[in-house]
Structure 1
Amino acid sequence: MASKISLGNKARISFDYGVDENGKQIIKRKSFSLIADATDDQVYTASNNFASLCEKPLVEIEKIETYELQA
């Protein structure tokens, strides 16, 4: 049976930078590492607080959990 080992968690927040000359939306992302036991609510709050310091509008917040699978 396979088991998983956590390699860490990251938050990635996306910002709207308008549209390019072809009308395609420009999205730029910032990522930061999370402490191991951060709850989803804490990640959401911290990401919103960070986004409030930025000039561009917030598009989305993602929590990325990375694992290694071992046999």
Structure 2
Amino acid sequence: MAQGILKSSSLKVVFDYGVDEHNKPIFKTKTFNRIRRNSTADELYSAATAIGSLSKEPIWAIERNDSYEIGE
């Protein structure tokens, strides 16, 4: 049976920069690689909001991206 092993995790914070001249939203992201693989959602949320407080633009989204190695 195949098994997935967590290889790495990253935290992505998406900032809302308003809209462009065509009224399309502008988003910019900041990605933090090599976060602890056993970090909880609460820990990542706290870290992202602390990072977001340093920016004048509001946070639009906070995402965690995990990469798994699949094998037997």
TM-score between the two structures when normalised by the length of structure 2: 0.90
For structure 2, the 5+ residue unaligned runs are: none
Using the aligned pairs only, state the percent identity.
37
Match of 1:17 in 2: 17
Q: CA RMSD in A?
A: 1.0
4+ long deviations beyond 3 Å? none
Partner Cα distance (1:65, 1:36) in 2: 8
Cα offset, 1:56, TM superposition = 0.7
**1:54 is aligned to 2:55:** yes
What pairs up with 1:1-71 in 2 under 5 angstroms?
Answer: 1-33=1-33, 34-71=35-72
How many residues were matched structurally?
Answer: 71
Secondary structure class of the residue paired with 1:13: strand
State the 1:64 CA deviation. Answer: 1.0
Structure 1 residue runs of 5 or longer lacking an equivalent are: none
Amino acid paired to 2:29: R
